[in-house]
Amino acid sequence: MSVNTDSDIEVLTPTLPGRLGNPDHSLGTDPRSDPRMVAALAAFGLQERPESPPLNGSSPIEELSGFCKAIEPGYDLVFGALFANSQQPANVEVSTETIVGVDGNDISLYIHKPTDVDGPVPGVVHTHGGGMTILKAADPNYVHWRNELASAGLVVVGVEFRNAGGALGDHPFPAGLNDCASAAKWVNDNRDGLGIDRLVMSGESGGGNLSIATALLAKRDGWLDAIDGVYAQCPYISNAYDVKDPSLPSLWENDGYFLDVAMMGALARMYSPDGSDDTNPLAWPYHATAADVEGLPPHVISVNELDPLRDEGLAYFRTLLASGVSAVSRTVNGTCHAGDCLLPEHMADVYQATVNDIRRFAQSL
């Protein structure tokens, strides 16, 4: 913090946060970072700023497709190591259901049910992260997340939707969204058999996008009564990663903190390849208008302080509020993108706080 003096008046000029104040900052050097998170990520070199990928949203689709397939195994290794010691809680049973989606494709649903509850409980349709482009619902970090939510007393259904790239690609928008909508409709139609009395859409990052977009789609298509609430974590919703919308300063402030904004632009182009959906709210909910969101069910928008995507989530929260939608926001301080659901061994209190918040929200509906 600098001090300027003018006569008898002392003016304090605060230092801007993150890379806005110090372009050389990394997740490991930013004083806001939770030291437990830094120590855990340092095992993989993720406390440092990564080199920007050789691609961005302007690169040819064929190159972007190859890039997605090349980077996905690296994420698998990291998440596999972080969750290598995770165990299924004793009070959770897991089964798999295969349904046929609206496009005629098979969709695997992973159903996690608590065994120690009486009567119907809230249900959560979980849409995993990965920018709608990579990763899988069957990955160990998402299995563990669903188990923790189920152990807390929720019935959780993970959706293995089609990705825009990677091992489950290449299926651009609206394939993944259609699969999530098909899953939500199936869960709603089977409330009694699943033992649920409410339905919440929830996911992080790209899954945060899909949880929000499923509610928007349900409103457009006339089945919004199936969804009782939305809990979106660190949603990836702006598609501003090549242009860096000046109203979203976290894209500069936290660029390279676990997420690289140029890489987010590459994944975004895979999701909407020809540009025709670049501002379609069903693809990128940041662009939703007041009319698009009016009448939606209650939302929680949870963001991470040190996330490049923080401000787009908060912007959507404000759109909801301005339209009269019941909405709550929370910022998990000291954490990177999705940092509150990545490190159950290193930051158990932070991890459990988000599990508990989702449970409380679902039970309040």
Cα–Cα dist 10/3, whole Å: 7
pLDDT of residue 7: 53
Cα–Cα dist 340/127, whole Å: 16
Kindly tell me if the per-residue pLDDT of 244 is higher than 80.
no
- The helix/strand/coil state of 183 is helix
pLDDT of residue 159: 98
Kindly tell me if the per-residue pLDDT of 8 is higher than 80.
no
Cα–Cα dist 176/159, whole Å: 10
Task: Quote the mean pLDDT of the chain.
Answer: 95
CATH class of 61-364: alpha beta
pLDDT confidence of 2, banded at 50, 70, 90? very low
Which range is least confidently modeled, 40-49, 56-65, 152-161? 56-65
How large is the average pLDDT for residues 55-63? 89
Kindly tell me if the per-residue pLDDT of 364 is higher than 70.
yes
Position 296: which residue type? L
How large is the average pLDDT for residues 325-339? 98
Query: In the 8-state DSSP scheme, what is residue 309?
Result: T
pLDDT of residue 104: 98
Query: In the 8-state DSSP scheme, what is residue 327?
Result: E
| Domain residue extents for the chain | 2-33, 61-364
Q: Dihedral, CA atoms, 355, 230, 123, 169, nearest 10 degrees?
A: -90
pLDDT confidence of 15, banded at 50, 70, 90? confident
pLDDT of residue 9: 66
DSSP strand pairing (155-160 vs 121-127): parallel
